[in-house]
Amino acid sequence: MHIVGLIVRYLLGLGYLAGGLGLLFIGGLGLWARNWKIGGVSGFIGLLGLLGAYESFTFASPFLFWFVLLLFILMSVAAALYVTEPDLGIIDRFKSPKRLLKEGKKEKAAIKLKRGGCYRDAARVYEELEWHTSAALCYEEAGDWDKVAELYLLIAEKEEDGEYYLRKAREIFEEKLQDFTRAAQVLEKLAETEGWYWEDAARDWEKVGSDKAVRRCWKKALKYYQERVKEDDPVFLSDVADISERLGLKDDAVASYKEFLKYCQDMVEKEEKGWLRHVVEVNYALARITGDEGFKEEGDKTLEKYKFYLDEVIKSEEYKQELLDEVKRWLTERVERRP
């Protein structure tokens, strides 16, 4: 037993020595940088470590040996408690949320409530603190999605870049609450900065059944894509044509599709054979709108070329057939697209 005790003391002493020297070095750097808090605390613990090393190697004073060991154990526990929840503190960890609230420590009370699973109570405290993001997270844990969405809308108004929170609110209204009216309203706010959201707003208004709002949003979406085309981005001609057709502007749709067809053919000429798909689609769309069989015949010819292209680049027969079916649908209906 004496040998075991001696080995333990020497191992402890080596640990004290390494830790003490390391902390003295950190303390010295802290004092040199005029960070008195880090420098002072690290230096004090470093000296304590050297004292522990001396007592472990010599066992000159059993009282000091056990005192230093106990002190290091207590400091290690305190450090672990602090690291795991630095915002709560060591002493306040042992207080009830009710007592913390009486002491005016709302932030710490909210942390305790959240840790205890009292998410709604924690959220209300965070709301009093105006920590809306933390409150939203707590309401999310509680499943109060209506409150989460409202808080995200509130945050979006206060944040300089509130688009992220508007998108989150939109997702909640659509997926969790099935409230497509509110979702469409949020999408219209998003569309004020990102015009392609007008499409999504129109589709949500369609689910609500508000024809007036649907038409208004499609008109704004059309204006947005027309501006994109003017910015020398002809790929959006397809969207201009699609929306014009939705709005009953047949002549405008035909003109835009013909312009887009020329662009697609030019891309094919540049060896971009993947654009064959769009050549087929536009010809089929023109055949559907105008009733001109010439467009269908041209589309059929290009479809054969597109099939040869797919044979070269795609191995999966199932996926290949899926792509061909999508193209063929353009003869009878529009295929939903996004920019």
Cα 216 from Cα 210, distance rounded (Å): 10
Dist. CA 299–CA 302, nearest whole Å:
5
**pLDDT in the model for residue 155:** 94
Q: What is the pTM of this model?
A: 0.70
Which helix (H) or strand (E) segment is 94 a member of? none
298 CB-near residues (< 8 Å, 6+ apart) = 283
pLDDT beneath 50: ranges in the chain: 1, 338-339
Distance between CA atoms of 247 and 239, rounded to whole angstroms? 12
How many angstroms separate the CA atoms of 272 and 275, rounded?
6
- Nearest partner of 287 among 244, 252, 333, 222, judged by Cα: 333
Distance CA 155, CA 162 (A): 7
Burial of 70 (0-12, 13-18, 19+ CB in 10 A): exposed
Q: Look at residue 10 in the predicted model and tell me its pLDDT.
A: 76
Residue type, 291: G
Give the model's pLDDT for residue 338: 43
Closest CA to 48 of 58, 56, 60: 56
Q: How far apart are CA 10 and CA 16, in angstroms?
A: 10
pLDDT of residue 40: 74
Is 53 in contact with 20 (CB distance < 8 Å)? yes
